[in-house]
């Protein structure tokens, strides 16, 4: 099994379990990145909307449960939430529907699937929130190639990522508060989050091929999280989870 197929299986395992927990009233099915849309995509929109052609579909790449996707659909005429996990797509369609929104399964490491999606949808704009740090360094060139295919000549990419200091933040926060239950669920599947600095992004989307339209540092909105106690029982952490982040808006250069 190739690297991306292995990751696909891990994500399906994660989202299948998340969907199961969502049916249990007393269970905590939230993901560590599940920030309320008012504190995430609603603020992101102000950073990228002016750069995007509204006639192009907007793809929420790595949509997960669809929390941000539905918010995007309230501001853009056509939004498509895509994820590698069928269980994530099913959960998003059930939990966060919208009349102008559709959810689809798409593996960006499947070149044929990416080409077929591009042929069907045409050029698209892309919204990508806290996804890149989950792509392993060896796979980033293939990931960037798929993004270029989807964008075409006129699409615009918006990304929000964890800052370069996020790793240190995680270690210090966990030392003070304990392991977040929602992070522990991710790690149990074998998924290994990393960090992606601004320099890493510029290496993936080089200045020879892309223009940076806007960028800046942003603190994540504080999120209350449950942590594992000494007896493996969950309790609300005294400190909210708020890792540092940054955003970038990029557009392919004219040939």
Res 73: pLDDT = 97
Task: Please say if the pLDDT value at position 140 is more than 80.
Answer: yes
Let me know if residue 12 belongs to a domain. yes
Res 8: pLDDT = 80
The residues, any chain, with a CB within 8 Å of residue 104's CB and separated by 6 or more, are 80, 81, 82, 89, 117
Let me know if residue 178 belongs to a domain. no
Q: For residue 92, what pLDDT band results from cuts at 50, 70 and 90? A: very high
- The CATH number assigned to the domain holding 74 equals 3.40.50.150
Res 69: pLDDT = 98
For the stretch 10-66, pLDDT in tens is 999 999 999 998 888 767 777 878 889 999 999 999 999 999 999 999 999 999 999
Average of per-residue pLDDT across 118-135: 96
Let me know if residue 102 belongs to a domain. yes
Bridge partners, 93 (sequence order): none
Let me know if residue 235 belongs to a domain. no
DSSP per residue over 123-175, as a string? Answer: S-EEEEES-GGGS-GGGHHHHHHHHHHHHTTT--EEEEEE-TTHHHHHHHHHH
Average of per-residue pLDDT across 143-153: 97
Angle at Cα 120 formed by Cα 16 and Cα 79, nearest 5°? 60
Q: For residue 3, what pLDDT band results from cuts at 50, 70 and 90? A: very low
Res 220: pLDDT = 86
**Percent of the chain beyond pLDDT 70?**
96
Q: What share of the chain is helix, strand, coil (3-state, %, to 5)?
A: 40, 20, 35
Domain carrying residue 14: 3-164+191-223+244-252
Model pTM above 0.75: yes
Let me know if residue 229 belongs to a domain. no
Query: In the chain, how many H helices and how many E strands?
Result: 9, 9
For the stretch 185-242, pLDDT in tens is 899 988 888 889 999 999 999 999 999 999 999 988 888 999 987 767 888 999 999 9
Tokens of 3: 């690297």
Cα 142 → chain centroid: 17
**Percent of the chain beyond pLDDT 90?**
72
For the stretch 103-112, pLDDT in tens is 999 999 999 9
Let me know if residue 76 belongs to a domain. yes
Helix (H, G, I), strand (E, B) or coil at 50: helix
Task: Please say if the pLDDT value at position 5 is more than 60.
Answer: no
Let me know if residue 70 belongs to a domain. yes
Let me know if residue 152 belongs to a domain. yes
Q: What's the domain count of the chain?
A: 1
Q: Is the dihedral of CA 23, 60, 12, 200 positive or negative?
A: negative
Higher pLDDT, 105 or 134: 105
Res 32: pLDDT = 79
């Amino acid at each position: 099994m190739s690297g991306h197929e292995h990751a696909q299986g891990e994500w399906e395992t994660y989202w299948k379990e998340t969907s199961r927990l969502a049916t249990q009233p007393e269970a905590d099915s939230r993901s560590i990145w599940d920030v309320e849309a008012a504190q995430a995509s609603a603020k992101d929109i102000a950073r990228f909307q002016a750069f995007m052609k509204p006639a192009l579909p907007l793809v929420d790449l790595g949509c997960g449960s669809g929390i941000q996707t539905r918010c995007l659909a309230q501001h853009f005429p056509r939004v498509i939430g895509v994820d590698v996990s069928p269980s994530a797509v099913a959960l998003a369609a059930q939990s966060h529907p919208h009349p102008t929104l559709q959810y689809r399964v798409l593996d960006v490491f499947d070149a044929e699937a990416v080409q077929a999606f591009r042929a069907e949808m045409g050029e698209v704009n892309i919204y990508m929130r806290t996804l890149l740090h989950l792509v392993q360094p060896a796979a980033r060139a293939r990931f960037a190639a798929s993004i270029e295919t989807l964008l075409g000549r006129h699409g615009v990419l918006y990304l929000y990522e964890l800052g370069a200091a996020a790793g240190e933040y995680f270690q210090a926060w966990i030392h003070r508060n304990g392991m977040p239950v929602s992070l522990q669920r991710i790690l149990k599947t074998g998924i290994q989050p990393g960090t992606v600095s601004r320099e890493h992004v510029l290496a993936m989307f080089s200045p020879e091929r892309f223009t940076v339209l806007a960028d800046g540092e942003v603190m994540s909105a504080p999120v209350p999280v449950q942590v594992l106690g000494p007896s493996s029982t969950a309790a609300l952490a005294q400190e909210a989870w708020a890792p540092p982040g940054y955003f970038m808006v990029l557009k392919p250069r004219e040939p």
